[in-house]
A and B are shown apart, each in its own frame.
Chain A
Amino acid sequence: MRFRTQIAAMLIVASVLASAYKQETLQELIARAEAAHIEDRPALYLEIAEKQLKASDQLYIDGKVEDGRAALNDVVTYSEKAHDASIQSGKKLKDTEIAFRKMAAKLRDLKRRLNFDDQAPIQVAADRLENLRTDLLSHMFGKGK
Protein backbone atom coordinates (compact mmCIF):
# COMPACT_ATOMS: atom_id res chain seq x y z
CA MET A 1 0.00 0.00 0.00
CA ARG A 2 2.79 2.36 1.02
CA PHE A 3 4.75 1.46 -2.11
CA ARG A 4 1.70 2.28 -4.28
CA THR A 5 1.30 5.66 -2.59
CA GLN A 6 4.96 6.46 -3.24
CA ILE A 7 4.59 5.52 -6.91
CA ALA A 8 1.45 7.66 -7.22
CA ALA A 9 3.23 10.61 -5.57
CA MET A 10 6.20 10.22 -7.93
CA LEU A 11 3.88 10.14 -10.92
CA ILE A 12 2.11 13.30 -9.76
CA VAL A 13 5.44 15.12 -9.26
CA ALA A 14 6.64 13.95 -12.70
CA SER A 15 3.41 15.11 -14.30
CA VAL A 16 3.62 18.54 -12.62
CA LEU A 17 7.26 18.91 -13.68
CA ALA A 18 6.48 17.85 -17.25
CA SER A 19 3.62 20.33 -17.34
CA ALA A 20 5.84 23.13 -15.97
CA TYR A 21 8.53 22.31 -18.55
CA LYS A 22 5.94 22.38 -21.34
CA GLN A 23 4.59 25.72 -20.14
CA GLU A 24 8.10 27.13 -19.96
CA THR A 25 8.78 25.99 -23.52
CA LEU A 26 5.69 27.81 -24.73
CA GLN A 27 6.64 30.89 -22.71
CA GLU A 28 10.14 30.74 -24.18
CA LEU A 29 8.72 30.53 -27.67
CA ILE A 30 6.50 33.53 -26.98
CA ALA A 31 9.48 35.47 -25.64
CA ARG A 32 11.51 34.53 -28.72
CA ALA A 33 8.71 35.65 -31.02
CA GLU A 34 8.31 38.99 -29.24
CA ALA A 35 12.07 39.62 -29.46
CA ALA A 36 12.48 38.48 -33.07
CA HIS A 37 12.92 40.67 -36.14
CA ILE A 38 9.59 41.63 -37.65
CA GLU A 39 10.13 39.40 -40.71
CA ASP A 40 10.74 36.35 -38.47
CA ARG A 41 7.70 36.93 -36.28
CA PRO A 42 4.95 35.54 -38.55
CA ALA A 43 6.44 32.02 -38.51
CA LEU A 44 7.04 32.11 -34.75
CA TYR A 45 3.57 33.43 -33.94
CA LEU A 46 2.08 30.78 -36.20
CA GLU A 47 4.06 28.11 -34.38
CA ILE A 48 2.56 29.32 -31.09
CA ALA A 49 -0.97 29.43 -32.55
CA GLU A 50 -0.61 25.92 -34.00
CA LYS A 51 0.77 24.55 -30.70
CA GLN A 52 -2.14 26.08 -28.80
CA LEU A 53 -4.63 24.75 -31.34
CA LYS A 54 -3.28 21.26 -30.81
CA ALA A 55 -3.46 21.78 -27.04
CA SER A 56 -6.98 23.19 -27.27
CA ASP A 57 -8.14 20.22 -29.37
CA GLN A 58 -6.83 17.79 -26.77
CA LEU A 59 -8.25 19.76 -23.83
CA TYR A 60 -11.72 19.87 -25.38
CA ILE A 61 -11.58 16.15 -26.16
CA ASP A 62 -10.53 15.50 -22.54
CA GLY A 63 -13.57 17.48 -21.38
CA LYS A 64 -11.49 20.38 -20.00
CA VAL A 65 -13.66 22.96 -21.69
CA GLU A 66 -12.43 26.06 -19.82
CA ASP A 67 -8.77 25.23 -20.46
CA GLY A 68 -9.61 24.42 -24.07
CA ARG A 69 -11.25 27.81 -24.45
CA ALA A 70 -8.22 29.57 -22.93
CA ALA A 71 -5.92 27.82 -25.41
CA LEU A 72 -8.36 28.73 -28.17
CA ASN A 73 -8.05 32.41 -27.19
CA ASP A 74 -4.28 32.06 -27.62
CA VAL A 75 -4.86 30.63 -31.11
CA VAL A 76 -6.76 33.77 -32.11
CA THR A 77 -4.37 36.15 -30.32
CA TYR A 78 -1.22 34.73 -31.93
CA SER A 79 -2.89 34.37 -35.31
CA GLU A 80 -3.72 38.07 -35.15
CA LYS A 81 -0.10 38.82 -34.27
CA ALA A 82 1.11 36.66 -37.17
CA HIS A 83 -1.30 38.48 -39.47
CA ASP A 84 -0.11 41.92 -38.31
CA ALA A 85 3.59 41.02 -38.48
CA SER A 86 3.14 39.50 -41.91
CA ILE A 87 1.44 42.62 -43.27
CA GLN A 88 3.86 44.97 -41.53
CA SER A 89 6.92 43.15 -42.90
CA GLY A 90 5.37 42.15 -46.22
CA LYS A 91 6.88 38.67 -45.66
CA LYS A 92 5.34 35.20 -45.42
CA LEU A 93 1.92 36.45 -46.52
CA LYS A 94 1.14 33.29 -48.47
CA ASP A 95 2.54 30.95 -45.79
CA THR A 96 0.47 32.73 -43.17
CA GLU A 97 -2.65 32.55 -45.34
CA ILE A 98 -2.16 28.80 -45.84
CA ALA A 99 -1.59 28.28 -42.10
CA PHE A 100 -4.85 30.13 -41.30
CA ARG A 101 -6.71 27.99 -43.82
CA LYS A 102 -5.38 24.79 -42.28
CA MET A 103 -6.09 25.90 -38.72
CA ALA A 104 -9.65 26.81 -39.74
CA ALA A 105 -10.03 23.28 -41.16
CA LYS A 106 -8.89 21.83 -37.83
CA LEU A 107 -11.32 24.04 -35.94
CA ARG A 108 -14.25 22.94 -38.13
CA ASP A 109 -13.35 19.32 -37.48
CA LEU A 110 -13.06 19.97 -33.73
CA LYS A 111 -16.38 21.83 -33.66
CA ARG A 112 -18.22 18.90 -35.22
CA ARG A 113 -16.88 16.56 -32.53
CA LEU A 114 -18.22 18.69 -29.65
CA ASN A 115 -21.59 19.11 -27.97
CA PHE A 116 -23.73 21.92 -29.36
CA ASP A 117 -23.16 24.04 -26.22
CA ASP A 118 -19.40 24.04 -26.70
CA GLN A 119 -19.42 24.78 -30.42
CA ALA A 120 -19.95 28.56 -30.41
CA PRO A 121 -16.42 29.68 -29.34
CA ILE A 122 -14.90 27.33 -31.90
CA GLN A 123 -17.05 28.84 -34.64
CA VAL A 124 -16.10 32.36 -33.52
CA ALA A 125 -12.40 31.45 -33.66
CA ALA A 126 -12.77 29.80 -37.08
CA ASP A 127 -14.62 32.87 -38.40
CA ARG A 128 -11.90 35.15 -37.03
CA LEU A 129 -9.19 33.11 -38.77
CA GLU A 130 -11.18 33.22 -42.02
CA ASN A 131 -11.46 37.00 -41.70
CA LEU A 132 -7.72 37.34 -41.08
CA ARG A 133 -7.14 35.13 -44.10
CA THR A 134 -9.44 37.22 -46.29
CA ASP A 135 -7.61 40.34 -45.17
CA LEU A 136 -4.25 38.80 -46.03
CA LEU A 137 -5.53 37.86 -49.47
CA SER A 138 -6.64 41.46 -49.97
CA HIS A 139 -3.13 42.62 -49.14
CA MET A 140 -1.59 40.01 -51.42
CA PHE A 141 -3.66 41.33 -54.30
CA GLY A 142 -3.00 44.95 -53.47
CA LYS A 143 -6.45 45.90 -52.18
CA GLY A 144 -5.34 46.31 -48.59
CA LYS A 145 -2.56 48.73 -49.31
Chain B
Amino acid sequence: MIQTPRKIANVFMLFALLSTLFAQRRHDPLNPAEADQLREAAQVPSERIRLYIEFARTRLTSLDQMRADPKVTDRPRQTHDRLQDFLDVYDELNDNIDTFVARKADLRKPLKGVIEADTEFQARLRALKGSIESSKEETSQYEFMLNSVLDTVDSGVQDHRQLLSEQDEAAKHKKK
Protein backbone atom coordinates (compact mmCIF):
# COMPACT_ATOMS: atom_id res chain seq x y z
CA MET B 1 0.00 0.00 0.00
CA ILE B 2 2.88 2.34 0.83
CA GLN B 3 4.16 1.85 -2.70
CA THR B 4 0.97 3.18 -4.33
CA PRO B 5 2.02 6.87 -4.41
CA ARG B 6 5.36 5.81 -5.87
CA LYS B 7 3.58 3.76 -8.53
CA ILE B 8 1.38 6.73 -9.36
CA ALA B 9 4.48 8.92 -9.55
CA ASN B 10 6.19 6.39 -11.86
CA VAL B 11 3.15 6.20 -14.12
CA PHE B 12 3.00 9.99 -14.19
CA MET B 13 6.72 10.22 -15.06
CA LEU B 14 6.30 7.64 -17.81
CA PHE B 15 3.37 9.56 -19.19
CA ALA B 16 5.38 12.81 -19.08
CA LEU B 17 8.28 11.11 -20.86
CA LEU B 18 6.02 9.68 -23.57
CA SER B 19 4.36 13.08 -24.00
CA THR B 20 7.80 14.61 -24.55
CA LEU B 21 8.73 11.94 -27.07
CA PHE B 22 5.50 12.41 -28.99
CA ALA B 23 5.94 16.17 -28.85
CA GLN B 24 9.40 15.83 -30.39
CA ARG B 25 8.09 13.72 -33.27
CA ARG B 26 5.84 15.98 -35.31
CA HIS B 27 2.96 14.29 -37.02
CA ASP B 28 2.65 14.35 -40.79
CA PRO B 29 0.40 17.30 -41.64
CA LEU B 30 -1.27 15.24 -44.38
CA ASN B 31 -3.54 12.29 -43.69
CA PRO B 32 -2.95 8.98 -45.58
CA ALA B 33 -5.75 9.67 -48.09
CA GLU B 34 -4.23 13.04 -48.96
CA ALA B 35 -0.76 11.51 -49.26
CA ASP B 36 -2.21 8.89 -51.64
CA GLN B 37 -3.80 11.58 -53.81
CA LEU B 38 -0.45 13.38 -54.03
CA ARG B 39 1.33 10.16 -54.92
CA GLU B 40 -1.11 9.56 -57.77
CA ALA B 41 -0.50 13.08 -59.03
CA ALA B 42 3.29 12.81 -58.73
CA GLN B 43 3.93 13.44 -62.43
CA VAL B 44 1.24 16.08 -62.99
CA PRO B 45 2.39 19.45 -61.61
CA SER B 46 -0.94 21.24 -62.11
CA GLU B 47 -2.88 18.52 -60.26
CA ARG B 48 -0.35 18.28 -57.45
CA ILE B 49 -0.41 22.04 -56.95
CA ARG B 50 -4.23 22.06 -57.04
CA LEU B 51 -4.28 19.38 -54.33
CA TYR B 52 -1.88 21.31 -52.10
CA ILE B 53 -4.06 24.43 -52.41
CA GLU B 54 -7.11 22.35 -51.45
CA PHE B 55 -5.31 20.81 -48.45
CA ALA B 56 -4.08 24.22 -47.25
CA ARG B 57 -7.59 25.64 -47.58
CA THR B 58 -8.98 22.71 -45.56
CA ARG B 59 -6.54 23.55 -42.73
CA LEU B 60 -7.74 27.15 -42.58
CA THR B 61 -11.38 26.02 -42.63
CA SER B 62 -10.67 23.61 -39.80
CA LEU B 63 -9.06 26.48 -37.87
CA ASP B 64 -12.10 28.72 -38.42
CA GLN B 65 -14.49 25.94 -37.38
CA MET B 66 -12.53 25.20 -34.22
CA ARG B 67 -12.45 28.89 -33.25
CA ALA B 68 -16.18 29.23 -33.85
CA ASP B 69 -16.95 26.23 -31.64
CA PRO B 70 -17.94 27.42 -28.14
CA LYS B 71 -17.22 23.98 -26.67
CA VAL B 72 -13.48 24.20 -27.42
CA THR B 73 -11.56 24.68 -24.19
CA ASP B 74 -7.87 24.88 -25.24
CA ARG B 75 -8.36 27.39 -28.05
CA PRO B 76 -4.84 28.97 -27.95
CA ARG B 77 -3.12 25.56 -28.19
CA GLN B 78 -5.44 24.36 -30.94
CA THR B 79 -5.04 27.63 -32.83
CA HIS B 80 -1.27 27.17 -32.70
CA ASP B 81 -1.45 23.56 -33.92
CA ARG B 82 -3.84 24.31 -36.79
CA LEU B 83 -1.72 27.27 -37.91
CA GLN B 84 1.33 24.98 -37.83
CA ASP B 85 -0.52 22.42 -39.98
CA PHE B 86 -1.45 25.11 -42.50
CA LEU B 87 2.14 26.37 -42.60
CA ASP B 88 3.52 22.84 -43.10
CA VAL B 89 1.22 22.28 -46.08
CA TYR B 90 1.96 25.74 -47.51
CA ASP B 91 5.73 25.08 -47.18
CA GLU B 92 5.29 21.81 -49.07
CA LEU B 93 3.31 23.60 -51.78
CA ASN B 94 6.22 26.04 -52.23
CA ASP B 95 8.75 23.24 -52.17
CA ASN B 96 6.83 21.46 -54.95
CA ILE B 97 6.67 24.64 -57.02
CA ASP B 98 10.47 24.98 -56.67
CA THR B 99 10.93 21.36 -57.76
CA PHE B 100 8.74 21.83 -60.84
CA VAL B 101 10.52 25.07 -61.73
CA ALA B 102 13.84 23.22 -61.56
CA ARG B 103 12.37 20.68 -64.01
CA LYS B 104 11.41 23.57 -66.28
CA ALA B 105 7.69 22.78 -66.08
CA ASP B 106 5.21 25.27 -67.49
CA LEU B 107 3.38 26.44 -64.37
CA ARG B 108 1.55 29.46 -65.79
CA LYS B 109 -1.92 27.99 -65.35
CA PRO B 110 -1.47 26.43 -61.89
CA LEU B 111 0.33 29.57 -60.66
CA LYS B 112 -2.77 31.64 -61.36
CA GLY B 113 -4.66 29.31 -59.01
CA VAL B 114 -1.88 29.61 -56.43
CA ILE B 115 -1.96 33.42 -56.54
CA GLU B 116 -5.76 33.44 -56.15
CA ALA B 117 -5.41 31.09 -53.17
CA ASP B 118 -2.62 33.24 -51.68
CA THR B 119 -4.93 36.26 -51.78
CA GLU B 120 -7.71 34.26 -50.13
CA PHE B 121 -5.35 32.89 -47.44
CA GLN B 122 -3.97 36.37 -46.73
CA ALA B 123 -7.49 37.76 -46.28
CA ARG B 124 -8.55 34.93 -43.97
CA LEU B 125 -5.39 35.16 -41.87
CA ARG B 126 -5.64 38.93 -41.58
CA ALA B 127 -9.28 38.57 -40.55
CA LEU B 128 -8.18 36.11 -37.87
CA LYS B 129 -5.49 38.51 -36.66
CA GLY B 130 -8.01 41.36 -36.60
CA SER B 131 -10.54 39.35 -34.63
CA ILE B 132 -7.90 38.31 -32.11
CA GLU B 133 -6.67 41.87 -31.63
CA SER B 134 -10.20 43.08 -30.91
CA SER B 135 -10.85 40.27 -28.42
CA LYS B 136 -9.21 39.75 -25.04
CA GLU B 137 -7.95 36.28 -25.89
CA GLU B 138 -4.61 35.09 -24.55
CA THR B 139 -2.45 35.00 -27.70
CA SER B 140 1.05 34.33 -26.41
CA GLN B 141 0.84 30.63 -27.38
CA TYR B 142 0.31 31.32 -31.07
CA GLU B 143 1.17 34.96 -31.78
CA PHE B 144 4.60 34.11 -33.17
CA MET B 145 3.13 31.29 -35.27
CA LEU B 146 0.43 33.55 -36.71
CA ASN B 147 3.01 36.18 -37.63
CA SER B 148 5.24 33.51 -39.21
CA VAL B 149 2.32 32.23 -41.27
CA LEU B 150 1.41 35.74 -42.41
CA ASP B 151 5.05 36.53 -43.30
CA THR B 152 5.33 33.27 -45.24
CA VAL B 153 2.11 33.84 -47.21
CA ASP B 154 3.05 37.49 -47.87
CA SER B 155 6.41 36.52 -49.31
CA GLY B 156 4.75 33.58 -51.09
CA VAL B 157 2.43 35.96 -52.97
CA GLN B 158 5.39 38.03 -54.15
CA ASP B 159 7.41 34.99 -55.17
CA HIS B 160 4.50 33.42 -57.05
CA ARG B 161 3.70 36.65 -58.91
CA GLN B 162 7.36 37.07 -59.82
CA LEU B 163 7.56 33.49 -61.04
CA LEU B 164 4.40 33.84 -63.12
CA SER B 165 5.74 36.98 -64.75
CA GLU B 166 9.04 35.20 -65.51
CA GLN B 167 7.22 32.24 -67.02
CA ASP B 168 4.95 34.54 -69.08
CA GLU B 169 8.03 36.32 -70.37
CA ALA B 170 9.80 33.05 -71.20
CA ALA B 171 6.71 31.79 -73.04
CA LYS B 172 6.60 34.98 -75.15
CA HIS B 173 10.22 34.49 -76.19
CA LYS B 174 9.55 30.86 -77.04
CA LYS B 175 6.73 31.82 -79.38
CA LYS B 176 8.92 34.26 -81.32
Question: A residues touching B (Cβ–Cβ < 8 Å)?
Answer: 98, 101-102, 104-106, 108-109, 112-113, 123, 126-127, 130-131, 134, 137, 141
Inter-subunit contact A105/B42 (CB<8 Å):
no
- Provide the main secondary structure of the chain B interface: helix
Inter-subunit contact B92/A108 (CB<8 Å):
yes
Report the minimum CB–CB distance from B142 to chain A (whole Å): 12
Tell me if B11 counts as interface (CB < 8 A to partner A).
no
Question: B residues touching A (Cβ–Cβ < 8 Å)?
Answer: 24-26, 28-30, 35, 38-39, 42, 87-88, 91-92, 94-96, 144, 148
Contact pick for A112, options B25, B26, B35, CB 8 Å: B35
A-B contacts at CB below 8 angstroms, number: 39
Inter-subunit contact A112/B39 (CB<8 Å):
yes
**A102 to B148 CA separation, bound complex (whole angstroms):** 12
In the A-B complex, the 5 residue pairs with the closest CB atoms:
A105-B91, A105-B92, A130-B26, A106-B95, A112-B35
**A137 to B147 CA separation, bound complex (whole angstroms):** 14
Measured between beta carbons, the chain A residues less than 8 angstroms from B29 are 108
The residue of chain B having its C-beta at the shortest distance from the C-beta of A94 within the complex is B148
Inter-subunit contact A105/B39 (CB<8 Å):
no
Inter-subunit contact A131/B24 (CB<8 Å):
yes
Q: List 19 A-B contacts (CB under 8 A).
A: A98-B148, A101-B87, A101-B91, A102-B91, A104-B26, A105-B91, A105-B92, A108-B29, A108-B92, A109-B95, A112-B28, A112-B30, A112-B35, A112-B39, A113-B39, A127-B24, A130-B24, A131-B24, A141-B144
Contact pick for A109, options B25, B26, B96, CB 8 Å: B96
The residue of chain A having its C-beta at the shortest distance from the C-beta of B25 within the complex is A127
The residue of chain B having its C-beta at the shortest distance from the C-beta of A133 within the complex is B26
Given the known inter-chain contacts A127-B24, A131-B24, please indicate yes or no for A109 contacting B42, CB distance below 8 A: no
